[in-house]
């Protein structure tokens, strides 16, 4: 792989031991995947933030990197943590977990990483442009930035994203290269899609079929950005889809080659079967929305639906701190609290230690959360649209 003079100096250790170690990792990755050179990145998003995911070894590693003075070279946002960083006590997060989670946050902060703790950085102040090279790691954020924005990122692991942040570069391979952004499947959708959950069901179904290949959708006549983030998140979870195109909606759909692809039709029955398959129980202990992290519009919709009502079971809606601030200002959070729910920032149902907080069955409207909750969090799942979920708890 070609390296510039500065990059050779990084490799020789002239910028310190941490940068040398991190850059070596990037070079190794580039060699494995056949990169021709390094490219500068416009921004980074680092996953591997929850103490539940990285445990003590990961925490010690981050503390070690931070203690050696390593600093970010480009704007870097953080994925959700394992708890609401401000309101964890009131929400019942375990004290010992909180202590360790805050060690991780401190380490990232020392490196200059912005403590945004969200999987929707594009809603919270880190919006890449079309064709910008970035190095993001959370799978739904990767899917959204590649597909809906048309930025270019591979699905980075926590360590490679951190390395990209501290070196300001990533190896040029995979989705950074135009030839690798071409679709492999034509997915024709014959069902109406109304709720965000319908897009989650579609994504779950298609991800299982296409696995890590790129789908090109037709038949989706309209979708807002919340629905596209639900679609991408579910496909990234049930398969490993990091990029998709939707005819007439996503920016590269008109540019890629879409002839001669294997065609698969998705019917209403396929989606109904997906909902059935992901419904394990009858009454949830709690409903948790906001996977991926809710937009202000999604919080407003929930507030509108439960205004003046009384919930028999709690509802959380997970979001970024920035969206919560705006929701507080607009009175949406207060409406949700008055009904017995919570707007929870910085975390989500999957990366928080929800299984240690007395919950056994969770209602979700996210195909991604429905995919992960049984395995990661030992939860039974009710996967349904927001109105069906509310019927169970109002
Ligand atoms: Fe985000 Fe957590 Fe879902 S990180 S995409 S809300 S599993």
Considering only CA atoms, which residue is closest to atom 1 of ligand 1? 292
pLDDT digits 0-9 by tens, 275-321? 999 998 778 999 999 999 999 999 999 999 999 999 999 999 999 99
pLDDT attached to residue 281: 75
pLDDT attached to residue 361: 96
Whether 183 shows a pLDDT value over 90: the answer reads yes
E strands in 30-147: 38-40, 44-46, 76-78, 135-136
Residue 16 CA to ligand 1 center (angstroms) comes to: 34
Share of the chain above pLDDT 70, in %: 100
pLDDT attached to residue 282: 77
Considering only CA atoms, which residue is closest to atom 4 of ligand 1? 119
Considering only CA atoms, which residue is closest to atom 7 of ligand 1? 350
> The tokens of 255 are what?
């540019």
Whether 360 shows a pLDDT value over 80: the answer reads yes
Ligand 1 atom showing the smallest separation from residue 79 Cα: 4
**Helices H, strands E: what count in the chain?**
15, 14
Whether 119 shows a pLDDT value over 80: the answer reads yes
Ligand 1 pocket test target in 348, 352, 374 with most atoms within 8 Å of CB? 348
Across the chain, mean pLDDT equals 97
- Residues with CB under 6 Å of ligand 1 are 80, 119, 138, 140, 233, 291-293, 318, 348, 350-351, 368-369
- Burial of 333-363, coded b for 16+ CB within 10 Å and e otherwise, reads bebbebbbbbbbbbbbbbbbbbeeeebebbb
Ligand 1 atom showing the smallest separation from residue 349 Cα: 2
Considering only CA atoms, which residue is closest to atom 5 of ligand 1? 292
Residue 119 CA to ligand 1 center (angstroms) comes to: 6
Ligand 1 pocket test target in 47, 79, 119 with most atoms within 8 Å of CB? 119
Residue 75 CA to ligand 1 center (angstroms) comes to: 21
**Any idea what the Cα angle at residue 201 is, between residues 359 and 337, rounded to 5°?**
40
What is the rounded CA–CA span in Å between residue 145 and residue 164? Answer: 17
User: What average pLDDT does this structure show over 79-94?
Assistant: 97
What is the rounded CA–CA span in Å between residue 33 and residue 173? Answer: 7
pLDDT digits 0-9 by tens, 14-57? 999 999 999 999 999 999 999 999 999 999 999 999 999 999 99
Considering only CA atoms, which residue is closest to atom 3 of ligand 1? 291
What is the rounded CA–CA span in Å between residue 84 and residue 107? Answer: 17
* 368 CB-contact burial (10 Å; exposed 0-12 / middle 13-18 / buried 19+): buried
Sequence-ordered list of residues with C-beta below 8 angstroms from that of 18, at least 6 positions apart, any chain: 65, 68, 69, 70, 166
What is the rounded CA–CA span in Å between residue 242 and residue 126? Answer: 19
pLDDT band at 243 (very low <50, low <70, confident <90, very high): very high
Whether 133 shows a pLDDT value over 90: the answer reads yes
Residue 293 CA to ligand 1 center (angstroms) comes to: 6
Residue 309 CA to ligand 1 center (angstroms) comes to: 28
Whether 347 contacts 158, CB under 8 Å:
no
Ligand 1 atom showing the smallest separation from residue 80 Cα: 4
pLDDT digits 0-9 by tens, 102-115? 999 999 999 999 99
Considering only CA atoms, which residue is closest to atom 2 of ligand 1? 348
């Amino acid at each position: 792989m070609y390296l510039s003079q500065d990059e050779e100096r990084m490799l020789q250790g002239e910028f310190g031991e941490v940068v040398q170690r991190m850059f070596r990792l990037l070079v190794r990755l580039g060699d494995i995947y056949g990169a021709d050179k390094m490219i500068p990145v416009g921004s980074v998003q680092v996953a591997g933030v929850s103490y539940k995911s990285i445990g003590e070894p990961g925490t010690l590693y981050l503390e070690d990197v931070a203690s050696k003075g390593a600093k970010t070279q480009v704007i870097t946002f953080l994925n959700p943590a394992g708890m609401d960083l401000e309101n964890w006590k009131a929400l019942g997060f375990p004290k010992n977990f909180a202590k360790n989670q805050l060690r991780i946050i401190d380490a990232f902060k020392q490196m200059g990483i912005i403590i945004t703790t969200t999987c929707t950085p594009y809603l919270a102040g880190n919006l890449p442009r079309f064709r910008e090279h970035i190095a993001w790691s959370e799978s739904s954020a990767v899917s959204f930035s590649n597909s809906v924005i048309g930025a270019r990122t591979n699905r980075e692991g926590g360590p490679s994203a951190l390395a990209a942040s501290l070196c300001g570069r990533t190896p040029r391979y995979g989705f950074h290269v135009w030839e690798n952004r071409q679709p492999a499947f034509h997915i024709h959708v014959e069902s109406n899609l109304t709720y965000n959950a319908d897009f989650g069901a579609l994504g779950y179904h298609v991800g299982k079929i296409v696995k890590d290949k790129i789908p090109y959708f037709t038949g989706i006549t309209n979708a807002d950005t919340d629905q596209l983030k639900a679609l991408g998140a579910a496909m990234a979870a049930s398969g490993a889809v990091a990029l998709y195109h939707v005819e007439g909606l996503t920016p590269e759909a008109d540019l890629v080659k879409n002839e001669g692809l294997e065609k698969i039709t998705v019917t209403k029955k396929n989606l109904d079967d997906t909902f059935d398959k992901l419904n394990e129980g009858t009454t949830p202990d709690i409903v948790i929305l906001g996977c991926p992290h809710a937009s202000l519009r999604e919080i407003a919709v929930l507030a509108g639906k439960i205004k003046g009502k009384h919930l028999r079971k709690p509802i959380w809606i997970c979001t970024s701190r920035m969206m919560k601030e705006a929701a507080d200002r607009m009175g949406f959070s207060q409406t949700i609290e008055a009904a017995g729910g919570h707007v929870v920032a910085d975390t989500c149902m999957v990366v928080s230690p929800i299984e240690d907080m007395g919950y056994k069955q969770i209602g979700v409207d996210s195909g991604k959360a429905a995919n992960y909750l049984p395995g990661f969090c030992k939860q039974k799942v009710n996967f349904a649209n927001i109105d069906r979920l509310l019927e169970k708890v109002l």
